[in-house]
Amino acid sequence: MRINSYILKAIAVAGLVFTTSTAQAQDEIPENAITYYKKPYTKPVISLPDGWNIMPTGPKKDTVPNMMSPTISAEAKMAMFQTMMMLSPWSLRDMIAMIVTKKKVAEGISFDEVMESMDVRANSLNMKKVGHNTPYKVMEQISGKKVPRLEIVSYCDVPVMFAIVNYVPEFSAFVPCRITVLTDAKGQIWITSLDWDVRWLDTSPNPNKISPELRKNAIKVRENIESIMDAGANGDL
């Protein structure tokens, strides 16, 4: 497959921005720091060198609420992801670490205290508890052996969830917001969740934007998840 020079330029810029920005950002924070972007924030303005153009996008579309987008073929997905990976230095573990947020629980706080603290904080934020799974118990029944404790709890701002799914039904695969609490090989307790921040989309030139209200509410949900995880990690009641 022949890739034209325009695409190669775009890939080169993306690779340079990725390797530079991620390295700089990682050097700025210690381990177990705040996992949500809390610095003073303004929408970025992206400029390219003279003679370089922004990657073309699709046109502005009038979409019908609560309707699925056309299915993307497996071949198209394969081509897109392989192109993205051409300059990526990541392993699978790196990629998974990039798309989740995690906190290590402070010493002296028990697993049960973590779970209770998260429930209390979620209730104060009006995030409804809509699910609680204990897969480690199932694994113990299957294996007949003790396994590291792992529990998954789901919280939800129901109106925001339905607004997001109404805008993009495919997002239903990621809701409600799930937080996992687990013990690692050293017996340390960790709290993890999917890390999604709609402000990442601010640099996209695509004209199909979410509404300001939905953007604001989505940011608030991500802040609430951070707060719930923080309460669990510190045993706050």
The full 3-state SS of the chain, as one line of letters, equals: CCCCHHHHHHHHHHHHHHHHHHHHHHHCCCCCCCCCCCCCCCCCCCCCCCCCCCCCCCCCCCCCCCCCCCCCCHHHHHHHHHHHHCCCCCCHHHHHHHHEEEEECCCCCCHHHHHHHHHHHHHHCCCEEEEEECHHHHHHHHHCCCCCCEEEEEEECHHHHHHHHHHCHHHHHHCCEEEEEEECCCCCEEEEEECCCHHHHHHCCCCCCCCHHHHHHHHHHHHHHHHHHHHHHHCCC
**169 vs 227: CA distance, rounded Å:** 26
In degrees and rounded to multiples of 5, residue 182 shows phi and psi of -150, 160
Residue range 143-149: mean pLDDT, rounded: 97
Backbone angles phi, psi at 36, to 5 degrees: -130, 140
User: Residue 151: pLDDT above 60?
Assistant: yes
In whole numbers, what is the pLDDT of the chain averaged over residues? 86
Model-level pTM?
0.83
CA distance readout (Å), 170 to 5, 78, 213: 34, 19, 20
Residue 25 has pLDDT above 60, yes or no: no
Residue 143 clears pLDDT 80, i.e. is over it: yes
Does the structure show a pLDDT above 50 at 40? yes
pLDDT beyond 90 at 237: no
Determine the residue type at 217: N
Instruction: Count CB neighbours of 103 within 10 A.
Output: 22
Q: Express each pLDDT in 183-199 by its tens digit.
A: 999 999 999 999 989 99
Confidence of residue 77 (pLDDT cuts 50, 70, 90): very high
pLDDT recorded at residue 78: 94
Q: pLDDT of 85-127, one tens digit each? A: 887 888 989 999 889 999 999 999 999 999 999 999 999 999 9
pLDDT for res 118:
98
CATH 2.60.40.3710 for domain 5-234? no
Mean pLDDT of 192-212: 91
Q: What is the pLDDT of residue 30?
A: 47
Residue 10 banded pLDDT, cuts 50, 70, 90: low
Average pLDDT over residues 45-58: 77
